[in-house]
A = this chain, B = another copy of it.
Amino acid sequence: MSITSLRAGIIGTGFIAPVHIEALRRLGVQVTAVCGSTANAQATADKWGIPEIYGNYDYRAMYASPNVDVVHITSPNKLHVEQALAALAAGKHVVCEKPLGMNAKETARVVKAAAKAKTVLAVNYNCRFFPAILQMRAAVQRGDLGRIIHVQGHFFQDWLLKDTDYNWRVLASEGGKLRAVGDIGTHWIDAVSFILGAQVESVFAKLETFHKRRKRPRGEVKTFAKVDPKTMVSYPVDTEDFASVLLRYDNGVHANAAISQVAAGWKCSLALGIYGSEASMRWDLQQPNEIYVGRRDEPNQILQRGTPGFLEDVAHFTDYPGGHPEGFPDSHKMHYRAIYEHIASGRKTPLLFATAPDGHHEVKICEAVLKSAAVGKWVTVS
C-alpha cells in the first residue's frame, strides 16, 4: 500500500493543526476531514480544500466517516486520552499530540488499548525527526561518541514571560500540573531518551513559578495569539514557569536540563549536548541543520544536514540537499512519513516514532518530577 492512499482526519484547528495538514499534503497523504468549532472547522476546510467538515467539536461523527483512516488529535491536553481511546475503538490509526494525557493513570489506559488495537498509535514527539536528532542517535548507536558521560541542555522560550501572556497551558486543569516541563521539557527528555536509546530511571527537580498571579482574557485563545491586556482578569498560577531537572538514565548517564518559558530572547530553543568519551554533539532546534561535533585531539566539526556523513544515516528523513535549510515544518513531515509508512507497510518499517508506552513513560517522568520538587530528593520513575 502507498501512503497516498491513506486519508487523514484532523481534530483541532489551532496553532499546531495546520502544521499537521501541511506536512501531510507534502507527503501526498489526503486530508479528508477536519473537526473543531463549527466556524473554525469551516475556515480550515476552506483554506486547504478539505472535503469533510465536523463542527461542534464532534469528533465521534468524524470517526464514523469511512473516508478517514488516521486521526490526528491536536486538541488541548485534557482531551487527548478520551479522543484517542475512542479513535482506537473506532478502528482508526491515531497520531496524538503530546503529552499523551494528563496523568499516568489515564495514559495507562491508552497503553492497554493500543496494545490490543490492530491500528497504530503514535505520539507527536516530532523532534525525533529532525534529521540532526536521527543523526545523533545513529552516531551514539554506532559508538562515534564513545561511552556517553553526560548530557546537558535546555528548552527555553519566552512567550509566557509577561504576566499578561496567557494560554490554556498555564492552567493545571487544562494542560496538566506540570507546565514548562510538561509542555516543552518532555520534548527535551523524549529527544534525549531517543538519542541515547535509554530510559529515565530517576529524577531530581526544582520547579519555580515567577509570576504567582497572571492576567488572562475571557474565552478561548489560540496559541501564540495576541490579546489586549485591558480586557483581562487576574488569577493565581498553579503551574511552574521554569525548572531545573536532573535525570539519571538506566544506562548510568546523567543529564541536566534547564526548562523555562520565561527566558527572554529565546523563542523556541531546544538545545542539547551529548558528551561522550570520544566526542560530543551539540544541537539547537533554532539552527536545526547543523550539529556541532566537539573533539579533544582533533578539530571540532560542523556536521551539516544533507552533506556527506549526515546523509547515509538519515537519507530517508531529509529531502533537501546541503545548504538548502529545512526547518520545523519539515520535522513534522518526516515524522508523519515514518508513521504513515509504518501503517502502509503493515508495521514492517522500524519503529522510530513515539508509541503509547513512550508517551506514558513521559507522563510518569512528569509525575516523578512533581514529587521530587515537593520532597527535595531524587525520585525513582516507577
Contacts and interface: CB of A to CB of B under 8 A. Distances in A.
A235 interface: no
A13 interface: no
- Among A152, A154, A241, A264, the one with the most B-chain Cβ atoms within 10 Å of its Cβ is A264
Q: How many copies of this chain sit in the oligomeric assembly?
A: 4
Interface residues of A, number: 91
Interface string A324-335: 111111100000
A28 B48 contact: yes
A106 interface: no
A254 B321 contact: no
A25, A48, A330: which has the most chain B beta carbons within 10 Å?
A25
Contacts of A268: 321-324
A345 interface: no
Nearest to A211: B277
A377 B373 CA distance: 11
Interface of A: 2, 4-5, 15, 18-19, 22, 25-26, 28, 30, 46-49, 145, 149-150, 152, 154, 157-159, 161-162, 204, 206, 208, 210, 224, 241-242, 244, 246, 254, 256, 258, 260, 262-269, 273, 275-280, 282, 285-289, 292-304, 306-309, 319-330, 376-378
22 contacts: A4-B47, A28-B49, A157-B323, A161-B277, A206-B246, A224-B321, A264-B294, A265-B279, A265-B282, A265-B292, A266-B323, A285-B325, A287-B287, A288-B325, A299-B309, A301-B301, A301-B302, A320-B328, A325-B328, A326-B327, A327-B327, A329-B330
